[in-house]
Amino acid sequence: MNPLFRLGRALLGAALIIGIAVVLQWLQPVYISKELSIRLMGAVFGLVVVVNSNAIPKTLGRRWRVQSGAAAQAARRVAGWSMVLGGMGYMLASLFAPPALAFPVSAAILLTALFAATLRVTRIGTSCPRQ
């Protein structure tokens, strides 16, 4: 993919997130409560994590793919699933957990997913010889 296109897409995504934050800020407290605004922003952040993590197994570089083989493929798959489920958990916790627990629970879910993904990916080099 063209690097300029990728940069443009990333900037558009960032602008979209900032735009949503500004709109949510503008809507409260007249149209929506501050709590709902925070919950919706949490859901947007979770969605960003899901969308970006979805591509983790696919974005494996060709050189890395050839050198590492099955172990790397399995690790990337686990990391992708872990982060997607973590992002979905973050979304759900942000939207539906009790207000006092929403942030700690969602953050704990996402950090656990990130830890699991990192652990799985970093273990490739030590547990499996390169092909």
Partner 1 sequence: MSAVFKALSDPTRRQVLQHLQNGPLGAGELAQLFDVSKPTMSAHFAVLVAAGLIEPVKQGRTITYHLKLSVLEDALLMFAEAFGLQVTRTKAGKPSGSPHKESR
The label of the residue with tokens 């489920």 reads 85
Our finding on whether 5 is near partner 1 (CB under 8 A) is no
Site string for partner 1, 45-84 (x = CB under 8 A): --------xxxxxx-x-x--xx--xx--xx--x--xx--x
Size of the site for partner 1 (CB under 8 A): 18
Which residue carries 């656990």 as its tokens?
112
CB of 59 to partner 1, least distance (A): 9
Tokens 């709902």 locate to 36
Q: What is the DSSP letter of 29?
A: T
CA gap 87, 71 in Å, rounded? 24
Is residue 113 within the footprint of partner 1 (CB under 8 A)? no
Helix residue ranges, H only, 34-129: 34-54, 62-96, 99-122, 124-127
Residue with token string 């080099």: 125
* C-beta of 43 vs 56, nearer to partner 1: 56
Instruction: Tell me which residues touch partner 1 (CB under 8 A).
Output: 53-58, 60, 62, 65-66, 69-70, 73-74, 77, 80-81, 84
